[in-house]
Chain A
């Protein structure tokens, strides 16, 4: 099996390296990929959409359908993960562990006994006992809000700098996952519950598709943001820029929710009780 694999891989690699001799050399401005549609994007984006970042304009306007279905692919991945892993039958564990935070003593509560109320002094911890770590929790608490603000900046400033819905959404999701890793799954459920995350997955796709449908209602084609000028009260070119922003916000919400939801399901193998 191994020799066969090496043979196949070397065959493919050799053929591909032979083919590269016909490729355009690296950085060639006359390369075929840069000759046909791409100069038009570069030269006309500014006057057609009023968005300096060409990548954003091509992503959300010229290739709007592609990006919409890309968002739906991500949404479907979140839903597929839910259907594959989620176990709805909740099995209560035999014992529960509570930590008394000021002293660091762990209490083991037998089944049927009354647990202490959740407060500043007691917190419930996972059955796989983890030590209380002040440094990790404090530094995560410092990093999370700043990374969330940065994520919102990346989404909102995607017109003028590298960024956009996908990148900002991933940073936003990563900040929430960082919170869940540094504390535990239970405390991140109190911030963003499973229902809320699934709802946001759908909401993101809905915002994207809704922006497209809004253009139909205003008498234009699907995802033709120029029609939104009647709502925003600006000329059609600036309305395209606003429409791109709406779509990017939808993408950002969807990506963020799917990342968080994937983490919830994978970390706890679908039981949603305790995890990493």
Chain B
């Protein structure tokens, strides 16, 4: 029983992100509305970002900023005192790129709406078939 609880406690964060990813993936596949698909894409991106950030966590460590930076030359810097900075760097850029892709996706959606006067996927496909 204790073993099961320790497994759940150490993997729970991954499971939450996987559930979040499943929600986003389902919205991208099953929803007919294009804006809802974009929202699903954003939820999926958020799940990936949270997953990466949680990979960098370390127990009993602080944020990756050297304490007393410019006075620290005297004492050694231990890698176990600071969490892994690399996932933070990668996700920092990924967040802004996600916003940029969201902008381009919304621009495309506006163009689609100007062309077809609807954002429902099945109605757009029906209009395409009629032409």
Contacts and interface: CB of A to CB of B under 8 A. Distances in A.
Interface string A46-77: 11001111110011000100110010011001
B68 to A, nearest CB: 8
A39 B56 CA distance: 12
A27 B10 CA distance: 8
Given A12-B25, A46-B66, A54 B82 contact: yes
A28 B15 CA distance: 17
Given A53-B64, A58-B89, A266-B107, A39 B58 contact: no
B85 A58 contact: yes
Contacts of B76: 43
B61 A29 contact: yes
A38 interface: yes
A45 B89 CA distance: 14
* Range of interface residues on B (Cβ < 8 Å): 35 or more
Interface in A1-56: 1-2, 4-6, 8-10, 12-13, 16-17, 20-21, 23, 25-29, 31, 33-34, 37-39, 41-43, 45-47, 50-55
B70 A27 contact: no
A25 B15 CA distance: 12
A179 interface: no
Contact of A81 (B9, B13, B14, B104): B104
B39 interface: no
B117 interface: no
B65 A29 contact: no
A8 B64 CA distance: 38
Contacts of A74: 96-97, 100
Interface residues of A, number: 67
Interface in B10-57: 10-15, 18-19, 21-22, 25-26, 29-30, 54-57
Nearest to B76: A43
B15 A20 contact: yes
Contacts of A8: 25, 29
A9 B29 contact: yes
A46 B79 CA distance: 12
Contact of A266 (B29, B78, B106): B106
B85 A38 contact: yes
A26 B12 contact: yes
Given A45-B66, A67-B93, A23 B11 contact: yes
A272 to B, nearest CB: 13
Max chain B Cβ within 10 angstroms of own Cβ: one of A42, A46, A166, A270: A42
Nearest to B86: A38
23 contacts: A4-B29, A12-B21, A13-B19, A13-B22, A27-B59, A28-B59, A34-B56, A41-B86, A46-B66, A53-B66, A55-B65, A58-B85, A59-B89, A66-B93, A74-B96, A74-B100, A77-B103, A84-B108, A164-B92, A262-B100, A265-B107, A266-B106, A266-B110
Given A13-B21, A70-B93, 5 more contacts: A26-B10, A41-B85, A42-B79, A53-B65, A58-B89
Interface of A: 1-2, 4-6, 8-10, 12-13, 16-17, 20-21, 23, 25-29, 31, 33-34, 37-39, 41-43, 45-47, 50-55, 58-59, 63, 66-67, 70, 73-74, 77-78, 80-81, 84-85, 160-162, 164, 166-167, 170, 255, 258-259, 262, 265-266, 269-270
